[in-house]
Structure 1
Amino acid sequence: MAAPSPSPTDDQRAPARHGARGGLTMLLAAALVLLAVTLFGGNDTSSDAYRPPTPPRAGASATPYETPSPTPYETPSATPDESPSAVPYETPSATPDRDSESEYMSRSEPVRLLIPKIAVDAPFTDLDIGANGQLEAPPPDDTNLVGWYAKGPSPGERGTSIIAGHVDTKTSPAVFVGLSALERGDVFHVRRADGDTASFTVDSVETFGKDAFPSSRVYDDTDRAEVRLITCAGDYDRAAQDYTDNLVVFAHLT
């Protein structure tokens, strides 16, 4: 049901170092909701089953994206523990509280996502718009990989940065299987290509039905650096071949 969105005009684009604001703000508001709709519930190894929707462009409304997905991974005996055992982790040096004039960092590509509470230590891959006009998804055969929308704000940059990961694959749990264990006040980190580490504090962890996903709330631009971690949640609907919900972690740079 997703329709490719028209390209933004030049005056709708904004400098990347200022959070890809303006036209890109609306760009995020409609396509990344579609990213949330089906990207993280599928388990097929084909790229089509993981094809998320096009990021929103200025003036475009969010359109549900529908793609068939195979049966999700089922553990032989028990559901994977949503709070994986801790792994050795060196916490980055604490970042001083940011004042009103320093609420974000310069643009830099993310290198690694570290979520100590749920033992996530994963590299990033860029997500872009594919030839079919849809946002590409992280490769389904790599269970320890997250993707970020590389045309949007980078983690730590002013605006809303989108980080996405699979909850499972056809054969095993994936990187965000324990994401629901996060709570308000938990801290996670993004190591960046410039050598800095952006630390984020969780504001809330919420689950939304895919038929009532609050795209504006999730993807709207902000005046500070924020991150959304997104994966699938809820029950797997075998008739629809998709999960019923999306889990979204809202967090801000600290």
Structure 2
Amino acid sequence: MKFEDIQTIGIVGAGTMGQGIAQICSQAGYKTILFDINATVLEKAQQTTASNLDKGIERGKLTLAEKEAALANLTFTGNTLDLHCDVIIEAVVERLEVKQSIFKELADINSDQTILASNTSSIPITRIAAGVPNPERVVGMHFFNPAHIMKLVEVISGASTSPEVAHTIKKLAQKLEKTPVMAQDSPGFIVNRVARHFYVEGLKLLEEGVADVETIDKLMQASGFKMGPFELMDLIGVDTNFSVTSSMFEAFHYDPKFRPSRIQQQKVDAGHHGRKTGKGFYDYK
């Protein structure tokens, strides 16, 4: 699949990341199909997209005509058979077997030229591509939250990824007005591997009673960070952050420096997932 041939993009998973990716694809002029098995999630994604576009108009970054064009490009569906696309980006839960299953199913209903891109933040692309027909078209396309605002995109090549496919995805990221960075396959890639210790060490300080959440965050902000680790985890999603840490802990053969926190596990078990649930390390109600 050449960059010039891309006309239709499918997004699997209408959560926070999938919705944001679908929005920017539709704004870039692509026919975009956003899929999710949960009708409630799809409805919320539709509302969030409209709200984001309205905010863009309020800030002078978007016109009413551009909003209407973006919405006209965007289709919401709960039927996988609608996903006949040139590029498909999955943005589902960080579980290897789920991602592999999705790509295998979509490979059966699409051509061998359809590019299968994963928004995974931690699982090696080589593992995801294993068992998927034509693994050379499987590539990582890792966006950052919120996807419609953050500029960075990691483009990750697995062991089988074709250089042409990686180059096509790089050009697509640029078309979406993102800044792509090319990376080779490794658990967590570049950003999450480096940033993991920002969260893990912050949680260790909390576990050991060195300081409380507010103090740690304020000290990191005073050091030049826009957000401290706990405020950032609440924004990303405590559950999502925990899932990434757990995945990397396993991928690095249980290296202690990536050990997930019991405090974070407790937050996840309690349903305190951050801003999206109204409570995380902070209370947003």
Higher share of residues assigned helix = 2
Higher relative contact order at CA 8 Å, sep ≥6: structure 1 or structure 2? 1
Alignment TM-score, normalising by the size of structure 1 = 0.27
Alignment TM-score, normalising by the size of structure 2 = 0.25
